[in-house]
Each structure stands twice: as C-alpha cells, then as structure tokens.
Amino acid sequence: MKRILKAIIFIIFILQLLSCAPNKLSYIPKVEMVHIIDLTKYSDEGFLITPESLSGKYESVGPLYCKILPAANREEFVLNYIPTEKEKKRGITGENINANKTDAVWVSEEISVDSVLNIAYETAISLGGNAIMEFSIYSIVEEYTVNNFETVRIHGYEIRGFVIKRLD
C-alpha cells in the first residue's frame, strides 16, 4: 500500500512540474497561402497532366510513383550567450558562460514542386507516355532517428498517377 501511495505522490509531483513549464509562445501569425502549379509548359509540349481519368482511347503505360526527399546535413554552431546589463556589471561575459559549448541543427536542401513535377514528366516521357492521369501531389515528411535520441524531419514531395499514351 505504501508503494502505491508513493507512486501516486511521485506521479502527481511530476505532473505539477510539467504543468509549471514556462510557455514562451505568445503569438501565432495568420497565414494565407495560395500555390498553383503551372502546367502550361507541359501542355505546350502536348503532354497532359490531369487529376481525372480519361475516357478517350489510350494505351496504358503504368502507374507512376515519385517520391523526392532532399539531402540533409548536421551543422554545428557555437552557442553565443548575450549577458544582461546586470550580468555585465558583475563581470559575466558570454565567453565564460558558454566556453566551448556547441549545438547543432539539421539543414536540408530546398526542393521545389516544379523540380519534382519535372522528374515525373521526364520519367513518363522516357516510358513513351504523353499524359499522366489520376495525378496527385502531396507534401510529405519523413522522420529519421539519429544517435538513438534525436528526431530529424525531412520535408519532401510525392507524386502519384497513371502514365498513358493517348491515341487520339
């Protein structure tokens, strides 16, 4: 019975500590975003990309699945502490607080929707297709666990569709 009571008291203590953590986020700005994928350069070449199925005559080439994730590098940097005026008067500098302390951040390449779309287009052309029907594109996030404790999220794109050769 004492063990259960101690466990309950310990859990309550931990929950109180977690609930007292400072909340530094005080504002989230409004976001308005419009993104259009310009397909005219493909249609000018006689290539059709559509989210619909086609009812005309065509030869099936095959399903298309294209997933692109950028490379990422772990970049280390030295922590810079900026002391307050009160700390400066007491002789505290950033150097004596953070001497040789570093942190790291994962930096990935930028991948544009257009570059991913171009890869799908080139793949379809190389297979003899002149259209992608049932086309869809998604923003994806892949998670990697690094060094058994750090989670790295890489943002990329995924395209799905069905490549065909239109006959009319």
Query: Tens digit of pLDDT for each residue in 73-83?
Result: 888 776 666 77
Q: Which residue has better confidence, 91 or 53?
A: 53
pLDDT at 21 over 70: no
Measured between alpha carbons, how far is residue 40 from residues 43, 121, 159 in Å? 5, 13, 18
What predicted TM-score, i.e. pTM, was given to this entire model? 0.65
Residues 105, 130: Cα–Cα separation, whole Å:
43
The amino acid occupying position 9 is I
pLDDT at 18: 59
Residues 58, 48: Cα–Cα separation, whole Å:
12
Residues 51, 115: Cα–Cα separation, whole Å:
19
Query: Tens digit of pLDDT for each residue in 121-160?
Result: 999 999 999 999 999 999 999 998 887 788 888 999 999 9
CA-based angle 32:37:40, to the nearest 5? 145
* CA dihedral sign, ordered 106, 112, 117, 122: negative
Q: What domains are there in the chain, each with its CATH number? A: 26-71+109-166 (3.30.110)
